[in-house]
Chain A
C-alpha cells in the first residue's frame, strides 16, 4: 500500500516539478483506520460429564464368585462408584465379590453437569458342596510305636545296656527317627521297670537309671533328645506276676510309650 502511495506521491511531485504551473495539491488520503482489536473468543461452556458405558460381567453369579465392572466416562472431573469402591479413573474395570445381590452406581460429574449409571450383580446361593472324600487311613505315631517298638531288657540289679538290648534299641532308634519325621509333634516317654524282688524304694531308683540308660543310647544314635522324657515305675507296673525268672526278666525292662 505504502509503495503505491509513495509512487503516487513521487509522480505527483514530478508532475508538479515538471509543470511550472502550480497545479492544485490533492488532499492527502485519509489515514488508514486503526486495526480492529482481536479478542480471544470465550471458551465454550464446559461439556456435561457423560458416562459412555457401565457394565457388569457377568450380571449373575453364585456366592463366592466374582463379577467385573467396566466403565467408560467422558468429560468428567470426578468419577466414583458406590458400595465402597470409591473414586475411579475415567475408563477402568474392577473385580467385585458381592456376597448378596448388589446394585453398583457410577457417578461422573463435571462443572457442566453429572451423569449416573447403575448396574446390578445378582448373587445366587451356590449348591451345597459335595461331601469331602473319605480321608485315607493315617497311621499315628502312637500306633507305629505300639506295633513296632520293642522293650529293652536288663540283668538283675543292673542298668547297663547289654548286647541284646543294644540291638533292640538300635532298631527302636530307627523307628523313632521315622516316627518323628512323619509326626513333628509326637514325643515319647521311656519307662524304666524292675522285677518285684528288690525293695520298692531302691527299684524306683533302679527303674529311673534304666530309663536314663536307654535314653542316652537312643540319643547317641541320633534320636532327638528333646523328644524323649523318662519315668521310673519301679516295680509298680509289672507285665506279669509269676514268681519265676522268665517273668522277672520280662519285668526288668525299658519301654517306649507315647508321651501324654
Chain B
C-alpha cells in the first residue's frame, strides 16, 4: 500500500512539474501530450534475466522483448546496462542486507559489511536507478515459467520495496518467451500509469506486391498481413475506434471509390458510393455509425460528406468552392472535425463542427498542410506541414487544439508525413522518405525513441487503433 502511494506520488509530482512548466509557456515537445520529459521519468534497471533448463535458450528473446516494451513506453528511463553490478540477484532470497560490524581499529566508525547483493547496489552510483527488475525463468510441466519482481529502491527494506511479485506462464518457445515478457512489462508499466501497445494494430498501404494494397501489422512491425488483393490502387485506409471496421479508397471498380471491410471476418461490407468522379479519404465516427469522406458528388470541388455505414442518409457538410479532403472526427466528443481545405489558396488545416458550422483555419496559411490526426484525448493533434521548408518538404507537427502552438517533431530528415496517434496517446506512427523508398516509423510524441517498422517496398498512410480482443 505504502509503495503504491509512493509510486503514485512520484508519478504525480513529475506530471505536476511538467504541467507547471507547460503552463509557464515553456512548452517542450513532450509536455504537449503529457509525455513526461526525460528529466522527470523514473529510472529503471532491467538486468538480463536467466533461465534454467529448456528456458535458458529462450531468455535472449525474453530480455530483448522486455527491454523494448519498457524503453518504448515513454514513461521510464532505462538505466544503462554497462553500469550494472556483476552480482545480480535473481530472487528475493538472494538479497542480503549489509550489516554493521565493529571497527577494526578503536575510534574508527563502525564498518559496513557487505553480505551479498543489496538494493543500494542499484540505487547508488553508477546505476542511480529508482526501480529494479528481478527474476528468473524455468520450465515446469512442459511450460515456461517466469518469476518476476519489481522493487522500488527508495525503500530501505525488501518487504516494503517489493512492488510486484508474480508468476507468468507461457509455451516453452520463442512465442511463449515474448508473451511472458509482454505481460511482465504490462504489469510494470501499469505501475506508472502507462499502457502497453501490444495488441494494437496499424493499417497501412504497401506496394511491395507491385500494386498499392491495404495491409495490417502489429505496433512493432511484426505480423505484416496483406488484406486486399485487387491488383490496382487501393490506399488511404481508415480504421474504426473499436478496431472492428476498416475502410479505404480504391480504383478497383473504376474511379476512386470507398470500400468498407470487417476487420474481424476480413469480408467486404456493402457501401454504396454516390455517383461521382471521386469518393475518397473515408473516416469513421467514434461510435462507428457513420462515415465521413471527401466526394465530388454534385460538386466540382471535392467536399466533405457524411453517410451511414452503407452510404445511405448522405449529407453534405462543407459548402465552399475549394478542394477539401481528409475529414477526422474528434474521438472524445464526436462533435468537431479536422480537415484539409484549399479555401485559402493552398492546402491548410481547418476545423469545423460536424454539422459544418464554425469553420476556422488552424494553421497560418504558409506552406502546405496535410494528414491531421487526433490524440485519443481529443485535445492534441498531429499533422504534416511544409512550414519553413521547400514545397513538398513536410515534417510532423503536434499542437494543442486550444493553445494553437505548433511544435515541430521532425526536422527535414527525409519527407515526413501521415502522422497518426497510437491508442496510448503518447506514440505516433508516420512515414518518412529517406532515400529512395518511403517507410513507416514510430516514435514518442517528444520525437524520441524512433523505430523503423517496415522495410520492403514503399509503405504509406498508416492508421493506428486498438486491436481486436
- Measured CB to CB, the residues of A under 8 A from B are 156-157, 196-202, 204-206, 208-209, 211-212, 229-232, 236
Contacts and interface: CB of A to CB of B under 8 A. Distances in A.
A205 B278 contact: yes
- Give the bracket for the number of chain B residues in contact with chain A: 35 or more
A199 B302 contact: no
B391 A197 contact: yes
A229 B255 CA distance: 10
Classify the interface of chain B: helix, strand, loop or mixed: loop
Q: Nearest 10 CB-CB pairs, A to B?
A: A197-B392, A199-B370, A205-B323, A205-B302, A201-B325, A202-B347, A208-B278, A197-B391, A230-B277, A201-B326
Contacts of B326: 201-202
Nearest to B393: A197
Given A204-B280, A209-B300, A209-B301, A199 B347 contact: yes
A236 B256 CA distance: 12
Interface of B: 212, 233, 235-236, 249, 254-256, 277-278, 280-281, 294, 296, 300-302, 323-326, 340, 342, 345-347, 368, 370-371, 384, 391-392, 394, 417, 460-461
Contact of B371 (A197, A201, A206, A236): A201
A170 B323 CA distance: 26
B277 A231 contact: yes
A230 B276 CA distance: 10
Given A156-B391, A199-B368, A199-B371, A206 B323 contact: yes
5 contacts: A199-B368, A199-B384, A200-B460, A205-B296, A236-B212
Contact of A211 (B233, B277, B371): B277
A232 B281 CA distance: 14
A229 B278 CA distance: 12
B301 A202 contact: no
A204 B256 contact: yes
A205 B256 contact: no
Given A199-B368, A199-B384, A230-B277, A204 B300 contact: no
A211 B301 CA distance: 11
Given A196-B392, A204-B256, A209-B323, 10 more contacts: A198-B347, A199-B340, A199-B371, A201-B280, A201-B370, A205-B278, A208-B278, A211-B277, A229-B277, A231-B254
Contact of A232 (B277, B345, B417): B277
Contacts of B371: 199, 201
B394 A199 contact: yes
A195 to B, nearest CB: 8
Given A198-B368, A198-B392, A199-B384, A205 B346 contact: no
Q: Which among A156, A205, A229, A232 has the greatest number of chain B C-beta atoms within 10 A?
A: A205
A178 B346 CA distance: 39
A215 to B, nearest CB: 10
A236 B251 CA distance: 11
A202 B256 contact: no
A205 B301 contact: yes
A236 to B, nearest CB: 6
B323 A232 contact: no
Contact of B325 (A156, A157, A205, A229): A205
A200 B391 contact: no
B392 A205 contact: no
Nearest to B326: A201
Contacts of A156: 391
A232 B461 CA distance: 19
A248 to B, nearest CB: 9
A196 B415 CA distance: 12
A208 B302 contact: yes
B278 A204 contact: yes
Contacts of A202: 323, 325-326, 340, 342, 347, 368, 370
B405 to A, nearest CB: 23
A204 B236 CA distance: 11
Contact of B296 (A201, A208, A229): A208
A232 to B, nearest CB: 6
Contact of A204 (B325, B342, B345): B325
Contacts of A209: 300-302, 323
Nearest to A231: B255
Contacts of A236: 212, 233
A259 to B, nearest CB: 10
A193 B319 CA distance: 24
Q: Which among A157, A197, A208, A209 has the greatest number of chain B C-beta atoms within 10 A?
A: A208
Given A156-B391, A205-B323, A200 B368 contact: no
A61 B296 CA distance: 69
A111 to B, nearest CB: 80
A156 B367 CA distance: 12
Contacts of A205: 278, 280, 294, 296, 301-302, 323-325, 342
Contacts of A230: 277
Nearest to A157: B346
A198 B436 CA distance: 18
B342 A212 contact: no
B300 A200 contact: no
A47 to B, nearest CB: 83
A165 to B, nearest CB: 17
A62 B88 CA distance: 111
A102 B323 CA distance: 79
Contacts of A229: 277
Contacts of A212: 277, 296, 300
Nearest to B256: A204
A197 B280 CA distance: 19
Contacts of B212: 236
Contacts of A211: 277
A252 to B, nearest CB: 12
